[in-house]
Structure 1
Amino acid sequence: MVEHLGWESVFFLNVPIGIIALIVATRTVTESVSEVERQLDVTGLVLGTMALFFVTYALIEANQLGWGSARIVGSFVLFAGFLVAFLWWELRNPHAMMPLRYYKIPSFSAGNAVAFSVGMGMFATFFFLTIYMQSIHGYSPFKSGAGFLPMTLAIIATAPNAGRYASTHGSRAPMTFGLLLTGVGLVLLGVLLTPTTSYWLLFPIYLAMGVGLGATMAPMTAAVMNSVGPQRAGLGSAMTNTSREVGGVLGIALLGAILTTELKSAFAPAVAGLGLDPQQLAAVSEGARHGSLVTAGIGLTPAQSAGLQQAFNDAFMKGFQPALVFAGAILLIACVIANRLIPGRETVEQAHAAAAADHKEPVPVEM
C-alpha cells in the first residue's frame, strides 16, 4: 500500500480491522461494571497532552534549532510545568483519568514501566530499522515490511502460549525471559549492524526478538489487569496501552535525537571535500537532518552521488548503533524491574491453594 498508494494509505488498513474487532467484541466480551460512576477528566487530558506535546517537540526539533535555543529551552520548561500541573490535578481529582494511587501496587507500576520501556526501546526501533533498510540497503517499502515478517510470525506463535503459561505460573518468568531476549537482540544489532550487513544475519535476531516480544506482551497486560481487579480491568488495560504509546512517542523522539546528532556531526565533515556548490550542499544537509539522503535532481555527478552515499551510510551508522544499544539497555533495565516486582509462580500457587482449602474455584491473581 505504501509503495503504490502512498504512506497515507496505511491508516485506512485499520478501518476494516477496527470494524471486525468491534463486531467480535460486542458478541464475545462481557461488559464490566464499576460500582463507582466515572466522569471524563477533561482537565487531566489537556494537561497531559500539553506536557507530552512540548517534550516531544523539544526532542525532535532540538537538533535543528540547537539544544540551547530559546524555543527548545522554553519547550522543556513548559513540559515540566504542565507535567507538575498534571500530577497535581490527578492526585486531587476524584475522577482522575490516571489514578496515581494504583502505582502503589508493585505489579501495576512494574507492568506499566515495562510497557513504557517496550514502547520506547522496541517499537521506536522499528521506525529506524525501516529507514535503515530503505535508505542504506535500498529496499522498497514492501520489501522492508516483508523483512519484519519473521518477527511478526514469532510474536503470533509465542503470545498465546505465553499467556497460558502466565495464567498458571505467573507473569514473572515469561516477562523476564522475553525482555532479556529482546534487549540482547537490540544490543547485538547495535554491535553487528553495518551498511553492508546481510539480511540473513538479521533474520535470527529478528526471530529471537519476536519470541521475546510475544513472551512479554500478554503476561504484562495480565499482570496489570489482575493487579487492579476485574472491575478496574478496563482501566488497567487502558493505562498499559497509554504507557506503551507514550513510550513509543518519546522513544522515536529520543532515539531520533541520538541518531541525528551523531549523523549531523559525522556527515558534514565527510561531504566537505566532494566539491558541492552551496545549493547542493543545502539540499543534501536538509535531507540528512531528517535521516534521508537527497541525490536526485540537484545536478550531482556520478562520483559525487557515490561519495555522498558512502558518507551518509557511515554517518547514519555512527548514530544508529548507539541508539540501538541505548534501546537495548532500556529493555534490559525493564527485565530487572519485571523480575523483581512482577508476581511469579509462588503467588499463583498460594492463591490456588487457598481457594482449594475453601473448596472454591481458583481465583484470579496478580500475574
Structure 2
Amino acid sequence: MPTNTKPGWVLALTSIASLMVLLDAMVVTTALTTIRLDLGATIEQLEWTVNAYTLTFAVLLATAAALGDRYGRRRLFTIGLTVFTVASAACALSPGIGALIAARAVQGVGSAMVMPHAMALLAAAYPPERRARALGVFSSVSGLATLGGPVAGGAIAQGGSWQWIFWLNVPIGAVLIALVRVRIPESTGPGHRLDVGGLALAAAGALGLVWGLIKGNDAGWTSPEVLGSLTAGVAALAAFVAWELRVERPMLPMRLFARRGFAAGNASGFLLYTAIFGSAFLMAQFFQVTEHTGPLGAGVRMMPWTATLFLIAPVAGALINRVGERPLLTAGLAGQAIGFGSLALLATPGRPYPQLILPLVIAGCGVSLAMPAAQNATIGAVPRESIGTASGTFNTLRQLGGVFGVAILAAVFTAQGGYGSPEAFAAGFRPALGVAALLSIAGAAAGGWIPGRPVSSEAAAPPVPRPVGADARTAVR
C-alpha cells in the first residue's frame, strides 16, 4: 500500500511519466536526419519511425483504460511503464530501421497503458475546484514533451548518438516504477467486458487511412493499393461507429458526443495535435537541410516555439475557471494558425533566422492556451462515471491526430518538394505549413462550439475513484 498519497506526489509522478512517454512521440524529430543517414532510411520509413509509435499508442488507449477500470489503474500504469522501459532498450539496440520501427510499436503499447491512467489518477487526486490548475501544470509538463522533444533529441543526437534518446528512458522508467508503487493509491472503475470488435475496427480504420496517405505519392493516389487502403480505412471507421452504437458495452460510447463540450473539445484537440505533430516532423529537418545546422542547432532554433508552452500553459489552466475553455481554445488555435501561416510565407533558404522567431512565438503561445482548455473541456463535460472513458478518448484522438498530421503534411511535402537541395526542401515545407495553418483554423472553429461558461458544477466533475482496500476519503486527502 502507498505510504504517502498527497496529491502533489500524484501530480509529480503522473506528469513525469507522461513527459517521458510523450517525449518519445517527438524526440526523434531532430534525430531523423541522423537516423536517415545512419540506417539508410527513406522518408516513408522515417514516417513509420514516428507513426509506428503513435498508431499503437492511439488504437490501444481505450482498451488500456478499460483494463485499468477492471484490474486497477495503478497496476496498468505500472505495467505500461515497464513495457515502455524495456522497449526503449530494444530501440537503442536496433541493428536496422525495421527493428527500430518494430520496437517503436512496442513502446506505443506501453504508452497506451500509461497516459489514460495518468490523467485518471490525477483527476482522482484533486477536488474539482483545484483540478483545472493541476491539469494546467500537467499540460505544461506533458505538453512540453510535444514541443520540447526536438530540442532534447537534437542535444542527445549531436552530443552522443541517436541511440541515447532511448537509453535515457531506462533509468528514469525504473525509478518511476518504484515510486508509483509506494506513492499512488490503487483505484478501479466500473468493470466492463472488453470491446474487442470495436478495437479491431478502430485499428483497421486508422491503419488503412495512414497506410494510404503514406503510400499515396510513391504508388500514385489513384493506384489500387492506395485507393483500396483509403476505402478500407473509411469503411472500417464507419463500421466502428455502427458497432459502437449497437454493442452493449462500447469502448467509445457515442452518446458522449451529444455533449457539446466533449465533442468540440475532442474535435479541436484532434486538429490541434494534427497540426503540431506534422509541423514538428518537418520543421526540425527544415533547419538541418536548409540552414545546414546540426540536430542541436535545429532544436535550439525551435525553442521560441517550445519555451512559451512551459510559461503560459499553467497560467491558461488557472484562467479556465474564470473565463471558460472556449475563448482560450479558439484564441489559441487562431494564434497557432497565424504562426504557421507566417512561417509558410517566410520559410525560404537564406532567410535570416531572426525573422522566423516571432511566428514561432505566436504559434507557441497559441498551443499553450489551447492544450489545457481542450483537455478540461473534454473531461469536465462528462458525468462522474465516465472520466476514464473521456480521458482515454481524448488521448486516443490526440495520438491519432499526430499520426494523421505526420502522414498528411509529409504527403504534401513529398508532392511539392524533397531532400535534393535546400530549395527543394523549402518548396515542400512551405505548403505543408500552410496546411497546418488551415487545420488550426478548423480546430478554432470546432472550439467555438464549446459552451461559453466554464465547467464548475460538481456534477460535471470527474469522479474520485474508490481505492482498493481503503477508504476513499483517506486516499484523496
Post-superposition Cα deviations, 1:246-302, rounded to whole Å, max 9, x if no partner, equal 111111111111111112xxxxxxxxxxxxxxxxxxxxxxxxxxx434xxxxxxxxx
Quick one: which amino acid aligns to residue 323 of structure 1? A
Measure how far apart 1:7 and its partner are. Answer: 3.4
Measure how far apart 1:160 and its partner are. Answer: 0.9
Measure how far apart 1:170 and its partner are. Answer: 1.2
Measure how far apart 1:217 and its partner are. Answer: 0.7
Counterpart-to-counterpart distance in 2, 1:197 and 1:344: 42
In the alignment, which of 367, 373, 393 is matched to residue 213 of structure 1? 367
Give the direction of change, closer, same or farther, for the CA distance of 1:187–1:17 in structure 2 (3 Å limit): farther
Quick one: which amino acid aligns to residue 363 of structure 1? E
Structure possessing the higher radius of gyration over alpha carbons? 1
Give the direction of change, closer, same or farther, for the CA distance of 1:237–1:211 in structure 2 (3 Å limit): same
Note the 1:82-101 alignment, pairs <5 A: 82-101=236-255
Measure how far apart 1:67 and its partner are. Answer: 1.3
1:10 counterpart = 2:105: no
Quick one: which amino acid aligns to residue 292 of structure 1? Y
Quick one: which amino acid aligns to residue 157 of structure 2? V
| 2:275–2:440 Cα contact (<8 Å) kept | yes
| 1:226–1:364 Cα contact (<8 Å) kept | no
Gaps of 5+ in 2: 1-155, 463-477
Give the aligned partner of residue 232 of structure 2: 78
1:323 counterpart = 2:432: yes
Post-superposition Cα deviations, 1:291-339, rounded to whole Å, max 9, x if no partner, equal 434xxxxxxxxxxxxxxxxxx3223222221211111011112112212
Say which is worse superposed, 10-19 or 138-147, in terms of deviation.
10-19
Counterpart-to-counterpart distance in 2, 1:173 and 1:25: 36
Counterpart-to-counterpart distance in 1, 2:184 and 2:331: 30
Counterpart-to-counterpart distance in 2, 1:206 and 1:249: 22
Measure how far apart 1:83 and its partner are. Answer: 1.7
Counterpart-to-counterpart distance in 2, 1:234 and 1:31: 14
Give the direction of change, closer, same or farther, for the CA distance of 1:15–1:214 in structure 2 (3 Å limit): farther
In the alignment, which of 335, 353, 361 is matched to residue 199 of structure 1? 353
Give the direction of change, closer, same or farther, for the CA distance of 1:53–1:25 in structure 2 (3 Å limit): same
Quick one: which amino acid aligns to residue 371 of structure 2? M
SS in 1 for 2:438: helix
SS in 2 for 1:7: coil
| 2:384–2:461 Cα contact (<8 Å) kept | no
Quick one: which amino acid aligns to residue 133 of structure 1? F
Equivalent pairs, count:
307
Give the aligned partner of residue 157 of structure 1: 311
Quick one: which amino acid aligns to residue 451 of structure 2? P
1:134 counterpart = 2:270: no
**Aligned-pair identity (%):** 31
| 1:45–1:97 Cα contact (<8 Å) kept | yes
Note the 1:7-46 alignment, pairs <5 A: 7-16=162-171, 18=173, 33-34=188-189, 36-46=190-200
SS in 2 for 1:138: coil
Give the direction of change, closer, same or farther, for the CA distance of 1:203–1:31 in structure 2 (3 Å limit): farther
1:67 counterpart = 2:176: no
Give the aligned partner of residue 344 of structure 1: 452
Note the 1:164-313 alignment, pairs <5 A: 164-263=318-417, 291-293=418-420, 312-313=421-422
What TM-score comes out, normalization by structure 2 length?
Answer: 0.60
Counterpart-to-counterpart distance in 2, 1:313 and 1:337: 36
1:363 counterpart = 2:458: yes
| 1:115–1:241 Cα contact (<8 Å) kept | no
Measure how far apart 1:95 and its partner are. Answer: 2.3
Counterpart-to-counterpart distance in 1, 2:359 and 2:406: 21
In the alignment, which of 332, 335, 340 is matched to residue 444 of structure 2? 335
Counterpart-to-counterpart distance in 2, 1:80 and 1:95: 23
Post-superposition Cα deviations, 1:120-170, rounded to whole Å, max 9, x if no partner, equal 112210110011011111111111122222322210111111111002321
Give the direction of change, closer, same or farther, for the CA distance of 1:142–1:28 in structure 2 (3 Å limit): same
Counterpart-to-counterpart distance in 2, 1:170 and 1:31: 32
Counterpart-to-counterpart distance in 2, 1:23 and 1:140: 37
What TM-score comes out, normalization by structure 1 length?
Answer: 0.76
